[in-house]
Structure 1
Amino acid sequence: MRLLFLAVLRPHTGNAVTAQRVRAHLEAAGHVCILKDAFDFESPSEIANLILAENCEAALALHLYRGGRLLQGHRIPFGVIFGGTDVNEDANQAEKNTVMGRVLEEARFAVAFTESMKEMAQVQWPHAKGKIYVQSQGIATTPNAAFNWNTFLQRSEINQSADNLHIFLLICGLRQVKDPLYLVDAFSEWHQEEPNVYLVILGPEVDPVFTREVKANVKRAAGVRLIGEMPQEDLHAVVKNCFAVVNSSVSEGMSAAILEAMDLEVPVLARNIPGNAAMVKHEVTGLLFSNPQEFVHLAKRLVSDPALEKEIVVNGKEYVRMYHSWQVERDTYQQLIRKLEGSTED
């Protein structure tokens, strides 16, 4: 089949990485997958022209609102994948909620990353009950073997010997929902007590206004650094070398950064929100914090307790192997896409 796949393709963001992976799964099954950025289109009529020009027989959208709404009414079958913010944020706005409900009426299937995301969607749109499937994200990490950690530290203006350092890495696009400033003040205080701990915030500048605020705050904060986006293989190498990966988001669908850290055997400290708590079991596969002070308390504990660190790392690696298999994800999408074959009346 020739498939149109709409997603938000801002480089190195979670949805973009997921979209590339799903496209690879579909192309491996022999489909032609035309991946386009939903933000490049203003209206369904532009999509209608694209469907004609590319001779698309079916479509897929990642993110119910940003992608899904553009696929309505074209008389080609389509499926949708929840992005996270569509269920967690957009569903709270009446107008968007109505639009997404209509998208789900027309979609042949919908994929949620977690059971809790599926349940939230079913509460919002009860009519979609029978067509929502749960498929967690498949994880495969590929750290760049040639990556130079010392060069990275110099670039981050961390002029200490790598042996004694504890680098906490917060990977996120700079936008408010990721709340990158949440831990900055508390971390900075801790750094002043213990100068070998650093928080490195790493990711693309998504929201220009908010980015300015982040830069201004980080500039003033001792022990906190800000680094721009980098290729996936280099990012995985940074994760592998850091002490722990941090997530401080207000809302998450399923954080690939957390899962990749687990796969790379690096401990995770995550804000206690539903999307994170679905993956991180406190003191088993990671540590959950509810405020900046608790974060510092748990981070100190992790630094001083190698047995806890080892246990979390072993359990995290096993969790990813069991529940986030890349091969299982491939099989699921290759099966679901068959629901788009045949006429619209099926």
Structure 2
Amino acid sequence: MKLLFLACLSPKTGNHTTAERIRSHIESAGHTCELRDAAEFQSPAEVANLVSQNPPFEGALAIHLYRAGRLLLDIQVPFGVIFGGTDINEDVKVEQKRVVMEQVLLKARFAVAFTSKMKEEAEFFLLSQSSKIYVQPQGIQTEVKEKFCWTEFLRSSGVSMEHVDELRVFLLVCGLRRVKDPLYLVEVFSEWHCENPLNVLVIIGPKIDPALTVEVGAVVQSRGLHGPGEEPTGASCCREKVLRRGQQLCLGGHVSSHLGGHGPRGARVGQGHSRECSCSAA
């Protein structure tokens, strides 16, 4: 089967990672899957023309009902859609977008939600199509490089090693950008850390928004937290010292839940492909 797959493919985002993972799975099952960025198309008519090309596509798939699913409304082949967080958290609040999303859901052969809560919210905000919505949690696969040392990773992140076996490490994997702003978490968690220094938060992810990266650094400094083994000399400097000491991890899958764990074996991570990871210890 030849499938068209539309998604928002901004670099270093969860959507991109998820789309590549699904595309790989479809192709491993023996199908042809052409993954395209939804931003390439201006209207459903353009996608309809693409689908009807020779040889034609036999089906389609999209991540996000509004951002990508709306582009499938004019095609004459069956298609499925996958809910994204933006669908339920943002787009349903805009009446014009909500109407379009309902049209997409009505025409779709099926819809996938990654959590039961997301399905419940979709049924609440959109026209009830519960029989079409299937819950399919995302898998998380964790692989560590052979030379990776958890203790050294924590030490290089500025974490006190005095009671390393008793640490409760919470690992947050996210690109530093405004829509995924971790500042509120840093501020609250730092208070918890001050009450009990064994509670440690580590943030790993690419610096998508440089301005926000500096802002996070300012919060880290203001809380008296600093990079590995040296006092901070400025907000951005403090943050950059931590970022440069990030370890290279091999992370497979995509984050599908709050990432937390107890000790080195309890941390759960997501995000596909090897990359230089940045980290900040709170």
Deviation string, structure 1 residues 243-282 (Cα, Å, up to 9, x no partner): xxxxxxxxxxx942547969x95168xxxxxxxxxxxxxx
In structure 2, distance between residues paired with 1:159 and 1:209? 28
- Structure-to-structure mapping, 1:58-207, within 5 angstroms: 58-149=59-150, 152-153=153-154, 156-157=157-158, 163=164, 166=167, 167-189=169-191, 198-207=200-209
Residue 5 of structure 1 is matched in structure 2 by 5
In structure 1, distance between residues paired with 2:66 and 2:259? 25
Q: Which has the higher helix share?
A: 1
TM-score after normalising by structure 2: 0.70
Residue 14 of structure 1 is matched in structure 2 by 14
Structure 1, unaligned runs of 5 or more: 237-253, 269-346
Partner secondary structure for residue 183 of structure 2: coil
What's the offset of the Cα at 1:93? 1.4
Contact 1:82 1:112 in 2 (8 A): yes
Partner secondary structure for residue 183 of structure 1: helix
What's the offset of the Cα at 1:92? 1.4
Contact 1:202 1:228 in 2 (8 A): no
In structure 2, distance between residues paired with 1:217 and 1:259? 21
Deviation string, structure 1 residues 192-242 (Cα, Å, up to 9, x no partner): 676676432222334455444334323433336666698995347xxxxxx
Comparing 48-57 with 132-141, greater Cα deviation is found at 48-57
- Structure-to-structure mapping, 1:229-308, within 5 angstroms: 233-235=249-251, 255-256=255-256, 258=258, 265-266=265-266
Contact 1:171 1:257 in 2 (8 A): no
Count residues with an aligned counterpart: 251
- Structure-to-structure mapping, 1:32-71, within 5 angstroms: 32-48=32-48, 50-51=50-51, 52=53, 55-71=56-72
What's the offset of the Cα at 1:73? 0.7
Contact 1:191 1:223 in 2 (8 A): no
Name the aligned partner's letter for residue 138 of structure 1.
G
What's the offset of the Cα at 1:160? 5.1
Deviation string, structure 1 residues 263-307 (Cα, Å, up to 9, x no partner): x95168xxxxxxxxxxxxxxxxxxxxxxxxxxxxxxxxxxxxxxx
Contact 1:171 1:203 in 2 (8 A): yes
What's the offset of the Cα at 1:149? 3.8
Contact 1:184 1:221 in 2 (8 A): no
Comparing 66-75 with 208-217, greater Cα deviation is found at 208-217
What's the offset of the Cα at 1:66? 1.6
In structure 1, distance between residues paired with 2:226 and 2:81? 38
Partner secondary structure for residue 145 of structure 1: coil
In structure 1, distance between residues paired with 2:196 and 2:172? 19
Percent identity reads 50
Name the aligned partner's letter for residue 63 of structure 2.
L
In structure 2, distance between residues paired with 1:232 and 1:39? 31
What's the offset of the Cα at 1:79? 0.5
Partner secondary structure for residue 142 of structure 2: coil
TM-score after normalising by structure 1: 0.59
Contact 1:188 1:221 in 2 (8 A): yes
- Taking a change above 3 Å as real, the CA distance of residues 123 and 211 of structure 1, as seen in their structure-2 partners, is same
Residue 23 of structure 1 is matched in structure 2 by 23
Deviation string, structure 1 residues 296-332 (Cα, Å, up to 9, x no partner): xxxxxxxxxxxxxxxxxxxxxxxxxxxxxxxxxxxxx
In structure 2, distance between residues paired with 1:193 and 1:105? 51
Contact 2:170 2:259 in 1 (8 A): no
What's the offset of the Cα at 1:120? 1.8
What's the offset of the Cα at 1:151? 5.5
In structure 2, distance between residues paired with 1:35 and 1:231? 31
Partner secondary structure for residue 111 of structure 1: strand
Name the aligned partner's letter for residue 78 of structure 2.
P
Coordinate RMSD, CA, aligned: 3.8
What's the offset of the Cα at 1:162? 8.6
Residue 321 of structure 1 is matched in structure 2 by none
Contact 2:8 2:37 in 1 (8 A): yes
In structure 2, distance between residues paired with 1:181 and 1:260? 17
